[in-house]
Every structure is written in structure tokens, then in C-alpha cells.
Amino acid sequence: MDLSNYIKRQARALPVFLLVDVSGSMSGSKIGTVNVAIKEMLSTFRGIENPKGIIKLSIITFGNGKVNILKPLLEITEADAYTLNADGDTPMGMGLDAVREQINDKNVVSSRDYTPTIVLISDGLPTDFPEYHQGMSTQDVIGSWENMRNLLSEESRASKSVRLAMGIGDDADEGILKAFINNGEIPVVHANDNATISNFFKWVTMSVSTRSVSTDPGKADTSDIKYCFDADSLKF
């Protein structure tokens, strides 16, 4: 008898990477709202029943001159609870490198896994991209910034990911975030208040949750973003 016929095939993972700016300008109510939103996201993901794609979540932060893989890409458990603190500069390039390395590592994201989602949340400009200036085109950003170019290169598995981004605050510059998304059909969400920050996390949570129980978790549909936010909050 071939016992392999009775071995349950391991469920395919639906990887989600939160790449969060924890620089000093995110301190106060901004990071407080992000903390509450992450807590609610974790609770919702834990409550999903009978998923077709098992959600695995990673939380990567960048700030104060370093990157911290706060949560490696794993399933969500009751023990998962995180409080982010904000301080220092904005080494976003280091954060892009970290998420690219995670996705390119087949021991982290296997070839069987569904298309990963990367969610970038930031309220400022990267301090490790001194050449950037307001008004640079998406292609100029990609061409001039090695960290972004490496993330989006054809050799990078991360280039095939679903990439979403939120810019927080009146002074947030969407140029970097648009280059990160690199898809004219998906806007940057600009949050000028805590309610929009919270709504963005709720939308991402809903989108991933819907994918996880769909018949095709590998297909991501972000078209409803246009109906979930005020037009002024969407930057194409």
C-alpha cells in the first residue's frame, strides 16, 4: 500500500509582509494608531475559518538606523502581540533590502506559496536615498536608487508581489511610494488623519482575508480600493 496517498498535502501559504516606518516622525498618535490597527489585523486573521490559503505574516520595521524583523514569516498565533515604538531616522532602503531577501529565500517563501503581498507604511522620505528630490518620476527613482531597483528587478521574486503603500501625514511625499508600487492601477493611500490609517489597515485585512478563502488565493484584486477611500486620499 502506498501510504503517500494518505498524507495530507500541506496547505499553501499566503505570505503578507508589513514593512513599517518607525522613525521619529512616526511617534505619537501615528504609531499608536498603527499599533491598534495591527492588533485588529492579527485578531481578524486568527479568526478566519477554512482558508484555502493559510495566511502567514511578517512584520519588518525600519527606523533609528536599523531594520528589525519583528515577526518572521509564520502563521499567526495567540502569542503574537506587538507594540512598535518610533525613533530616529528612516532607513527605508534597508527595509526594502530586508523584505526582498526574505521573499527571495525559498526557505521563507517557498515556490508553492501564493503571490506575496508587501504593505509599505511610511510618513517620510528615506534618509538612505540622498539623491531623491520631489518631482522625480517613478522610473527615475527606480533607476537612481539601488535598493528599489533591486527589489523590482526581474531577478527578484519580490517584483512579482502585490505591493500596497500608505503615506502618512501632510508632508508625506508619494513619489517614493508610487515607485514602490510601480503600477499605475494601484494608488498610494495618503492618510492625513488616524481614521484613514485605521481604514487602510482594515481594507488590507479585508483584501487578504477575502483572498485566503477564495477559490484562487493566488489572484489579488485591488480594484475596490477606489471605492473604500475618498478620492482625495488616493494618489495615482
Q: What is the pLDDT of residue 11?
A: 77
DSSP assignments along the chain, one per residue: --GGGGSPPPPPEEEEEEEEE-SGGGTTHHHHHHHHHHHHHHHHHHT--S-SSEEEEEEEEEETTEEEEEEEEEE--TT--------S---HHHHHHHHHHHHH-TTTS-TTSPPPEEEEEESS--TT-TT--TT--HHHHHHH-HHHHHHHSTT-GGGGSEEEEEEESTT--HHHHHHHH--TTSPEEEESSHHHHHHHHHHHHHHHHHHHHSS-TT----TTHHHHS-GGGEE-
Rounded CA gap, 35 and 121, in Å?
12
Q: What angle do CA 39, 44, 47 make, to 5 degrees?
A: 130
pLDDT tens for the chain, residues 1 to 236? 454 543 446 679 999 999 999 999 999 999 999 999 999 999 999 999 999 999 999 999 999 999 999 999 999 999 999 999 999 999 999 999 999 999 999 999 999 999 999 999 998 889 999 999 888 999 999 999 999 999 999 999 999 999 999 999 988 889 999 999 999 999 999 999 999 999 999 999 999 999 999 988 888 889 999 999 999 999 99
pLDDT value, residue 219: 87
